Amino acid sequence: MWFPKVLILTILMVGPVLPLAGIGTAADFVVVGSDETVPDDLYAAGNVVDVRGVVEGDVTAAASQRVVVSGTIEGDLIAIAPYVEVSGEVTGSVRVIADRVSIVGTVGTDVVVAGRRATVEGTVGGDLLTVGQQAQVLGSVERNVKATAIGVITIEGDVGGDLEVNANRLEVSPTAAVAGDVRYRGDAEISPTADLASAAIQLGKTPVPLRVRALLLAGEIVAGLLVLLGGLSMFWLAPHLTEAAAGGSRNFLRGALAGAAVLILPAVFVGAVIAGMGAASPDLYGVALLATGPIAVLYLAMLFFMVVLGWVPLATGLGQVVTRARISTVGSFMIGVLILVGISFVPVVGWPVLMVLWVVGVGGWVLGARSLRHGSIA
């Protein structure tokens, strides 16, 4: 099914373009107080991002714990976090990648969610588009609802347009009202007293490949959150090294060569030593394993950390290129993460491209450490 991938790619890559100017901030807790007004776009990163006041532009937020909006955002909200809650007002749209999303307040236009669980208890002025494990509409969606899930979609509130569901199960309660058509795949429990404008049309069972894609989506969300947490940790623990690594990753060719060398040469060396000593005498295999054991352990440890941290300089470098370095380094990193997530949904070539870029990111750490050693930034 084309919908989930096109949807997320549209959110992250083709939706309203992120402005190249605004207010960037990174801290353990980023709070816009109830008596504060931010007169521009806000880019925020931290463990918690809490908007209690007014932001007169868009908010782009990344948090390792949660993003909470109890105030007013006069533009759009774009967020990546384990938990996102909108209990205030967003006059524009909401685009979220999160484990759990709760819309308790008011959203002026569309809500687009990729995550395990999405709940709408408030009012959505446009469409609700969600991909994940389960979703609930307990409040009001004034236009269409399009939901894809490997679990249950529950409708207890009002849907002003069409309801289109591709899930393991659809539940429509007696309190639900759907003004448009109802089309679904999977099992359904539709109350006979629900207010439906037309008869529900069953399109068939949920295809197995869709469930597989949904599970892969959940894995990609978790991976994205790990990269986000790793990047924020590195900016806190080693900000100069991380910035230098981002500079190194912007030199694509040098970064690719350095990354390939770090990833390939140790494995080739260990393999050559073991093969050479073993060819000389089978009795030397044990000696070869003992001699190369420390190198192999360090190499595996490096791979373990680079699975997450290898994306950090790359994402930062991409963000700096896109924004022309007009925002903070952490803000550039957040935008770069969004770009990488978008690339992952490009059919056929997305993941091969990401693997090449990951090698560049690993090389960025090498070049960054070298530039700091020589007293310059790559």
What are the pLDDT digits (tens) for 34-72? Answer: 999 999 999 888 889 999 999 999 999 888 889 999 999
- Bin 224: left if φ > 0, else alpha if -120 < ψ < 50, else beta: alpha
C-alpha 11/C-alpha 31 separation (Å) is: 25
Beta-bridge partners for 26: 45
Single-letter code of the amino acid located at 236: W
Terminal alpha carbon distance of the chain: 44
pLDDT bin (cut points 50, 70, 90) of residue 13 is: very low
Cβ count near 304 (within 10 Å): 10
Every domain of the chain and the residues it spans:
3-209, 210-373
Displacement of CA 140 from its chain's centroid (Å)? 26
pTM: 0.59
Long-range contacts of 30-36 (CB under 8 A, 24+ apart): 30/61, 30/63, 32/71, 34/71
Cβ count near 289 (within 10 Å): 15
pLDDT digits (tens, 9 = 90+) for 82-140: 899 999 999 999 999 888 999 999 999 999 998 889 999 999 999 999 988 899 999 99
Q: Give the mean pLDDT of 287-314.
A: 85
Per residue, the 3-state secondary structure of 22-49, as one string, reads: CEEEECCEEEECCCCEECCCEEEEEEEE
C-alpha 287/C-alpha 268 separation (Å) is: 18
C-alpha 211/C-alpha 215 separation (Å) is: 6
